Structure 1
Amino acid sequence: MRILLATDAWEPQVNGVVRTLTRVVQELREMGHTVEVIHPGQFKTFPLPTYAEIKVAIGVYEPVQERFKAFEPEAIHIATEGPIGLAARRICVEWKLPFTTSYHTRFPEYVSARLPLPLAAGYAYMKWFHKPSGRLMVATPTMRDELTRHGFRNISSWSRGVDTEAFRPRREGEPDVFEDLPRPIFLYVGRVAVEKNIEAFLTLDLPGTKVVVGPGPQLEELKVKHPKAVFTGSKSGADLAAHYACADVFVFPSLTDTFGLVILEAMASGTPVAAYPAPGPIDLIPGSGAGALAPSATEGLREACLEALKLDRRQVRAFAETFSWRACAEDFVRNLQPYPEPQKTRFWRRLRRLARVRRRRPEAA
């Protein structure tokens, strides 16, 4: 198929959404599909207020429209609810094109953590955005149930994957990146931002050392408030994989994620996970032998960290091996709603004809 993906989250951003989308696009192309990605790097952008690392595209509607016409997609997926997603949604609604969407971030909770806006306002926007979608893809059963309670419709499951070759247990003889730090090592990887609830981790009374890997707007503030913690900044590639593999426990304190791809990356490295019972952890951890959950979203994370220390790292790795990016991409394709072949051909032929007529009119005048 010719698949068009519209997203406001793309490289060089570093987060779970970008890793999911870039890897799925790679898998789709290997499966024989032709994929066109519309992303912020193709437009003028400005830094997102309160989070300068994220660039927001401007002046996108007409260029996105031209990209639709030039590519003539057979299936359209809108991954995010920002300016590019809004432009793609408007085009699909105006042209009566079927499309799908996905829910990667608990956007209302994310906004409420940063701005004095009620959750109800965030959910009203999200319901409006996703209502025309043929299918709304979500990563976990918990997220599906939560959105159903909020009145969302047409929800479908879309699994996630992990690269078990890039993220793997540390081998004998390989260097320990934490060799100079007191053990055990409790590790967090991700954006250093208020919505990630990192302070819930940093304030825990734990033995050993707390390590935070990642960039973000709260980094300097947390360095000052928690001088005993180690902040490494951004890591990538083999260096990031080594941090996962050399840690004793991976701590995931977020309550706003819909999945938490870093959880699978830690597990693939053989590192057990401690987390709150939020969407993502509550779907992955119970019964897996790969982590421990706190009893509630406000307490018990320290006990979960200490419980995770006791787990068999071989079992943690074995659980992660049950997830693959190919299965994730196949899920994605099954959820798409391609334009029916005869209608698709007639539609793009009619659109090309209209475009030619519009071009001729100024010449005639």
Structure 2
Amino acid sequence: MPKRVLIISDAWGGQINGVVRTYQNIIAALEARNVDVRVIGPEDFRRIALPFYKEIELAILPARPLRRLIEDYAPDAIHIAVEGPLGWAAWRYCTARGIPFTTAFHTDFARYIALRVPKFLSSFAERSVMAVLRKFHNASTCVFVATARIEQQLRDSGFTAPMVRLLRGVDYDLFYPAPLPKRAELPRLLYVGRVSKEKNIEAFLNLPIAAEKIVVGDGPLLPHLRKAYGSVRFTGSLTGRALADAYRDADVFVFPSRTDTFGIVLIEALASGLPIAAFDEPGPSDIMGHDPTLGAISDTDLADAVRRALAAKGSPQERHEKTKARYSWPEVADVFHKNLVCESHG
């Protein structure tokens, strides 16, 4: 297996999101096995912030400096994590030289873009972006995907590259149930994630349920939503023990997104003992399956899912143990490492 691994990612540096957290944990596990890992991210280049999302910076004209960085490092394996400017520069470098590489489908950019254009353009935009993503990933030796439903969706959209299921993990020393039962007049509903349009957060904020609502996270909509929803507690971004305590203080974890491909926050919530309420989308449905002790999902009625999750059978410790039996960062790193060098599919 490769001993020098290069990960090229447009999501890195100071960003707090599922992509960054996934690779941080994979890298930690690989380095514990004496694998040398180098990450090339936007901070290695001149960059510019996204106009609608200033927390995210993109590399400007990275091709030439990227080539030098790749050749100086001389990796045994190249993994391209994100389909951004850096990802495409790496894609062009590898395809022009016949160098094999792997990719990962972390973000459903087609649906994200469709949400940001006028409604009459959304279908065209989604198809167009999917065609670009198909070209990107079909050139790889294999694509890492998180769930069975995402794999099927990609197959249905014409993705032909081999696919490898790459789950996620949890730090079980940090995320575990509260030792004592919660006591509050109203149930506490928790959302953790970016405060942005594509997360469908207003479906959570507008829930017609008598409850205390807590939002953990940062993003472009935060200033506006803080003013619009004065009764909701917005904490901003939390990490480490503060984040773990936020999970333990809640009664139900609400996941309103319809575009996520997985959701590390879902398994962190389960590890913390919380039942989940979510829409029936890839990520929640694959994680929860048909196990009612883990919470509830609904095609269209998030409030109904919340009510059923509040009444879910099963204890917090049972949810923790079920999560621990399935999700492990060392196992994720093992799958990633073993599949970095795959045979070309032609």
TM-score by length of 2: 0.92
Quick one: distance in 2 between partners of 1:339 and 1:149? 23
Give the conservation status (yes or no) of the 8 Å contact 1:187–1:212. Answer: yes
Deviations along 1:55-85, one digit per CA (max 9) or x if unpaired, are: 1111311111111111111111000001111
Q: Residue 243 of structure 1 corresponds to which residue in structure 2?
A: 246
Give the conservation status (yes or no) of the 8 Å contact 1:289–1:315. Answer: no
Q: Residue 202 of structure 1 corresponds to which residue in structure 2?
A: 205
Q: Residue 110 of structure 1 corresponds to which residue in structure 2?
A: 112
Q: Residue 129 of structure 1 corresponds to which residue in structure 2?
A: 136
Give the conservation status (yes or no) of the 8 Å contact 1:186–1:248. Answer: yes
Closer/same/farther in 2, CA of residues 51 and 234 from structure 1, 3 Å limit: same
1:172 Cα offset (Å): 4.5
1:293 Cα offset (Å): 3.2
Residue from 160, 163, 173 that aligns with 1:155: 163
Quick one: distance in 2 between partners of 1:303 and 1:184? 15
Q: Residue 61 of structure 2 corresponds to which residue in structure 1?
A: 59
* Other structure's SS at 1:160 match: coil
Quick one: distance in 1 between partners of 2:58 and 2:204? 30
Quick one: distance in 2 between partners of 1:338 and 1:60? 27
Residue from 148, 152, 158 that aligns with 1:141: 148
Give the conservation status (yes or no) of the 8 Å contact 1:158–1:332. Answer: yes
Deviations along 1:311-362, one digit per CA (max 9) or x if unpaired, are: 321221112112110011111112211699xxxxxxxxxxxxxxxxxxxxxx
Q: Residue 347 of structure 1 corresponds to which residue in structure 2?
A: none
Deviations along 1:137-186, one digit per CA (max 9) or x if unpaired, are: 1000000001000001122211111111111112349xx8xx8x752100
Quick one: distance in 2 between partners of 1:335 and 1:290? 34
Larger Rg: 1
RMSD between superposed Cα atoms in Å:
1.8
Quick one: distance in 2 between partners of 1:102 and 1:51? 22
Give the conservation status (yes or no) of the 8 Å contact 2:112–2:259. Answer: yes
Give the conservation status (yes or no) of the 8 Å contact 1:75–1:338. Answer: no
**1:21 corresponds to which letter in structure 2?**
Y
Q: Residue 91 of structure 2 corresponds to which residue in structure 1?
A: 89
Deviations along 1:273-315, one digit per CA (max 9) or x if unpaired, are: 111111100101123445333331xx22112112112232122
Verify: 1:305 aligned to 2:311, yes or no.
no
* Other structure's SS at 1:32 match: coil
Q: Residue 19 of structure 2 corresponds to which residue in structure 1?
A: 17
TM-score by length of 1: 0.87
Quick one: distance in 2 between partners of 1:233 and 1:120? 34
Identity of aligned residues (%): 40
Structure 1 runs, 4 residues or longer, greater than 3 Å off: 287-290
Gaps of 5+ in 1: 341-365
1:204 Cα offset (Å): 1.1
Once the two structures are superposed, the pairs formed by residues 149-228 of structure 1 within 5 Å of their partners are 149-153=156-160, 154-172=162-180, 182-228=185-231
Once the two structures are superposed, the pairs formed by residues 28-107 of structure 1 within 5 Å of their partners are 28-107=30-109
Quick one: distance in 2 between partners of 1:18 and 1:70? 24
Range with bigger deviation, 43-52 or 281-290: 281-290
Give the conservation status (yes or no) of the 8 Å contact 2:298–2:304. Answer: no
Closer/same/farther in 2, CA of residues 142 and 223 from structure 1, 3 Å limit: same
Give the conservation status (yes or no) of the 8 Å contact 1:274–1:292. Answer: yes
Q: Residue 292 of structure 1 corresponds to which residue in structure 2?
A: 295
Quick one: distance in 2 between partners of 1:317 and 1:11? 30
* Other structure's SS at 2:6 match: strand
Gaps of 5+ in 2: none
Quick one: distance in 1 between partners of 2:222 and 2:51? 16
Deviations along 1:169-212, one digit per CA (max 9) or x if unpaired, are: 12349xx8xx8x75210000000000000111111111221111
